[in-house]
Structure 1
Amino acid sequence: MAPFNRILLCYDGTPEGRLAMRCGAALAQQLEAETHLLSILDCSYWSSGFDVLSAMKFEVDEQAARETLREGIDRLRAWGVVATGHYSTGNAIDQITRLADSLKVDLIVIGHHPRGLFARWWTGENHALLLDRVSFGVLFEVAN
């Protein structure tokens, strides 16, 4: 039995995300693991107010996130990996953990660009929150 039977790749279209997806795809191929790809529209930074401009921005951002998912599925297919695509809106940490739990994945693969502690705090990036919420493997592919 392979150590990872079901892998969730989190993809945002960044160079770090592409590197992580490539690494996760290679691992999925070697292990013949069921593969899932997640693209998230993280709208947690938007204000709670609703107006025409914010609705238009949401539609543009949503279209971009869905295109990122299609691009990821196409890249995986070109690399010989069949993956099920998932699109979600909301806080990235919440959505990753929700889908990972519902799919009962063994491993999550995420790209990461190292930054200083202050930059990580300022942007709200906190991978420790994800690690605190899951009970399975998380692979951060670090790009320099």
Structure 2
Amino acid sequence: MPPYQHLLAAIVFDDAGLAVLDRAHVLAQHFGARLSLLHVIEYTPIESGELLMTTPYDVTQQLEEEARGKLLALCRKQNLPEDCAHVSTGTVVTQIEQLVQKQGVDLVIVGHQPRKGLAAWLSHTEDNLVHRAPCDVLALRLR
């Protein structure tokens, strides 16, 4: 089996996301692979009385612009080309799946934080991704 050629790191803007980025960058260097970064802005339902609405377009666009700025700053810090940064809006697993298909990614790297109690019974992004991704998935254990 040939080494990985294109890695995708799913990034959140906190210490856990930075840990994922650091490890993904090391892995990309090890394999001599291309590294892409993805930050997904999840749809945020807004409750308005009895109606449930999605986030207005202008708010979503502003969130995407802010996220793109943060992601580009991370690219510069890691000496990665700016075209490796991707921001999308939707459900995390779906957006990862779409980028994997579009970009020919062969390894997705995500963070995993062990959960306890009731949270351990609920569905988790990394679990869903392992079952649905058309490529390998590496879930990094984060503390």
Runs of 4+ in structure 1 off by over 6 angstroms are: none
The secondary structure found in structure 2 opposite 1:49 is strand
Conservation of the 8 A alpha-carbon contact between 2:37 and 2:85:
yes
Distance, in Å, in 2 between the alignment partners of 1:120 and 1:13 is: 23
1:13-24 paired onto structure 2 within 5 Å: 13-24=13-24
Task: Name 1:135's counterpart in structure 2.
Answer: 134
CA distance 1:11–1:66, change in 2 (3 Å): farther
Q: Which amino acid aligns with 1:134?
A: A
Distance, in Å, in 2 between the alignment partners of 1:126 and 1:86 is: 18
Conservation of the 8 A alpha-carbon contact between 2:4 and 2:31:
yes
TM-score scaled by length of structure 2: 0.79
Aligned length: 138
1:1-144 paired onto structure 2 within 5 Å: 3-43=3-43, 45-46=44-45, 49-50=52-53, 54-55=55-56, 59=59, 62-82=61-81, 84-116=84-116, 118-122=118-122, 124-144=123-143
Task: Give, in angstroms, the shift of residue 8 of structure 1.
Answer: 0.8
Distance, in Å, in 1 between the alignment partners of 2:97 and 2:84 is: 17
Task: Give, in angstroms, the shift of residue 96 of structure 1.
Answer: 0.8
Q: Which amino acid aligns with 1:17?
A: G
Distance, in Å, in 2 between the alignment partners of 1:132 and 1:89 is: 21
Conservation of the 8 A alpha-carbon contact between 1:39 and 1:66:
no
Of 132-141 and 73-82, more deviation after overlay is shown by: 73-82
Distance, in Å, in 1 between the alignment partners of 2:24 and 2:45 is: 31
* % same residue: 24
Distance, in Å, in 2 between the alignment partners of 1:67 and 1:2 is: 37
In structure 1, the gaps of 5 or more residues are none
Distance, in Å, in 2 between the alignment partners of 1:126 and 1:24 is: 18
Q: Which amino acid aligns with 2:42?
A: D
Conservation of the 8 A alpha-carbon contact between 1:8 and 1:36:
yes
Q: Which amino acid aligns with 2:119?
A: A
